[in-house]
Chains A and B, each alone.
Chain A
Amino acid sequence: MRCIVSCSASRVLLLLVVAMAGMGSLGREMVAQTTTPSTSASGSSADRLATLEKQMADNTAAVAAAQTSGDNAWMLVSAALVLMMSGPGLALFYGGLVRKKNILGTMMQTFAMMAVITVLWALVSYSLAFGDGNAFIGGLHNVFLRGVGLAPDVKYAATIPLQTFMVYQLMFAIITPALITGAFAERMKFSAMLVFMILWALFVYSPMAHMVWGKGGLLNAALSGRFPCLDFAGGTVVHVTSGVSALVTALYLGKRIGYPKVAMPPHSVVLSFIGACLLWVGWFGFNAGSALAAGTLATSAFVATHFGAAAAAIGWSAAEWLRQGKVSALGAISGAVAGLVGITPAAGFVTPMSALWIGLIVGVFCYFMVVKVKAIFGYDDSLDAFGVHGAGGTMGAILTGVFANSAINPIFGAGKATGLLEGNGHQMLNQLTGVAIAWVISIVGTLIILFVVDKVIGLRVNEESERIGLDLSQHGEEGYDWAS
């Protein structure tokens, strides 16, 4: 959910300041009146009233302008931070995990989203996600960004230009399909990947975003949806959809040649390390930015995000230490990313202590999904897009229903219990509904799109191309040139 509650405290403060400023100028006015008694009594009181009214109107406008510039500054920075999560964050994180011959191909898959999804968003997918529509998908009122101007849309965010909201949401629409690329790394045609992603953005992401965050959406908790599912920054919309779709693509495309017999260790954990740290920083824009204002709720989400990441890094590392006797750098950063995924739906609803619990649980859970469950079933989710995002997003969405607290965010009204621990057990059903819908739309949508793209273009590169790597076969270049 994207909430407006956060501004209330800063608004009260601003009103106080304005009231004081107003009184101050009123005082000056009175002094001026007493020292220059030139106008007639009746005229002066009418004038004074008019002046005061104008003063009040000016002050109100000044408050709104001040709040807008504060909120807008944070939201523009947040949008840029979320873009940084894709490039270079995710591109480095994934790029380091593949073999040398596939680094550019892997990075290009994410970078292509930055360009292609942006254009798609402007043309049609913003409208499908956030335009007025039915409970499942937005309409076509905002295609070509018609009506998406600089005035706020009070239903989404009352204090920032709608274009800020639009471009902020765009950054989520970019990184979500980019996350999927981890599952089919090192074996998908660039052309097929582009068509798959465009269709996926239209038919999986847009409806899911609309249901959870759009006006009239079925699961929208902030705007009285039928099943109010708490999802602060995209646990279901971003991570469950991308993670589950990732699993479907990994199963549909099949394993890489030689997997699991041939060793395919990461070619540079160093690159992945830098990428993961950029993801952690960018995630503040992702989660705290989802307050859609620079108020107290943003702080709460920022703190929860950081605590969740830290606890999960420790959780994953501890599990690794116990089972393997060593803590690896790749394990620690994977844990941090898993924690960030897990805290995403919860960020604006939970206390710092709850964030620690969520991080710890998700960190250990994702470790077992990646290390044990993947080995048991033998699917080649190459870079663990499902193990981290699908599993972590699902667990995070469920735990949000457990830990959500009305003292942090009274989304159902002041004093009304929000999560299970507060006594609102019913919320668990809403969370599970949201998760179930995200799973179903991801499985069905992804399967149909894969089938179509496979028939029309073919999904996988041929065997020779896979052996020489995506860099050469798909892009005609190499990431590392030994002779220069």
Chain B
Amino acid sequence: MQKIEAVIQPSKLDAVKDALIEIGIEGITILEARGHGRQKGHTEFYRGREYSVDLLPKVKLEIVTRDEMVEKTIQAIMTAARTGKIGDGKIFVSKIDEAIRIRNDERGEIAL
């Protein structure tokens, strides 16, 4: 089991979700997030006062899936979320030791 965490542009969420459903990913968790990588922030004006906003709105997806699905999932996210500009986001992959379904105590891949 591996966990795929992807930080993407909020406007790409629907496209990514559709792509994931298409390849058969069933479980997904989405968080509204703020952050930045190499992408610079922007400035906002309120009654003439300038505010520089460097934490930008992002969406973070978390997917835990079987090992053989990992590369497919990564490809689906990349294809759907890419615009080619700075700020498209990042994907992180890590190992997962255990998964437990709270309802019935199922463990391992069957709990996914």
Contacts and interface: CB of A to CB of B under 8 A. Distances in A.
Interface residues of B, number: 8
A370 B46 contact: no
B48 A372 contact: yes
A74 B73 CA distance: 66
A409 B48 CA distance: 39
Interface string B38-51: 00000011111101
A331 B44 CA distance: 12
B46 A330 contact: yes
A243 to B, nearest CB: 16
Interface in B33-77: 44-49, 51-52
A265 interface: yes
Contacts of B48: 320, 323-324, 367, 370-372, 375
Contacts of A375: 48-49
A326 B47 contact: no
Interface string A328-346: 1011001000000000000
Contacts of A326: 45
A328 B46 CA distance: 8
A367 B51 CA distance: 18
Contacts, number: 31
B46 A266 contact: yes
A384 interface: yes
A370 B47 contact: yes
Contact of B45 (A260, A324, A367, A384): A324
A322 interface: no
A263 interface: yes
A44 to B, nearest CB: 80
Interface in A333-392: 334, 367, 370-372, 375, 384
A371 B47 contact: yes
Contacts of A260: 49
A375 to B, nearest CB: 7
Contacts of A384: 47
Interface in A100-128: none
B49 to A, nearest CB: 8
Interface string A298-329: 00000000000000000000001001101010
Contacts of A330: 46-47
Nearest to A372: B48
A163 B49 CA distance: 46
Contacts of B49: 260, 265, 371, 375
Contact of A334 (B44, B47, B51, B52): B47
B51 A331 contact: no
Interface string A12-45: 0000000000000000000000000000000000
Nearest to A370: B47
Contacts of A372: 48
Contacts of B45: 320, 324, 326, 328
Interface in B10-54: 44-49, 51-52
B85 to A, nearest CB: 22
Contacts of B47: 330-331, 334, 370-371, 384
A266 B49 CA distance: 11
A263 B54 CA distance: 12
Contacts of A320: 45, 48
Nearest to B52: A263
A328 B48 CA distance: 10
Contacts of A367: 48
Nearest to B48: A371
A425 B44 CA distance: 45
Contacts of A328: 45-46
A315 to B, nearest CB: 15
Contacts of A269: 46
Nearest to A266: B46
A124 B44 CA distance: 47
Interface string A200-239: 0000000000000000000000000000000000000000
B48 to A, nearest CB: 3
B109 to A, nearest CB: 32
Nearest to A371: B48
B45 to A, nearest CB: 5
A134 B51 CA distance: 52
Contacts of B46: 265-266, 269, 328, 330
A260 B51 CA distance: 11
Contacts of A370: 47-48
A55 to B, nearest CB: 64
Interface in A399-424: none
30 contacts: A260-B49, A263-B51, A263-B52, A265-B44, A265-B46, A265-B49, A266-B46, A269-B46, A320-B45, A320-B48, A323-B48, A324-B45, A324-B48, A326-B45, A328-B45, A328-B46, A330-B46, A330-B47, A331-B47, A334-B47, A367-B48, A370-B47, A370-B48, A371-B47, A371-B48, A371-B49, A372-B48, A375-B48, A375-B49, A384-B47
Given A265-B49, A375-B48, 18 more contacts: A260-B49, A263-B52, A269-B46, A320-B45, A320-B48, A324-B45, A324-B48, A326-B45, A328-B45, A328-B46, A330-B46, A334-B47, A367-B48, A370-B48, A371-B47, A371-B48, A371-B49, A375-B49
Closest 8 CB pairs of A and B: A371-B48, A263-B51, A265-B51, A265-B46, A370-B47, A324-B45, A330-B46, A266-B46
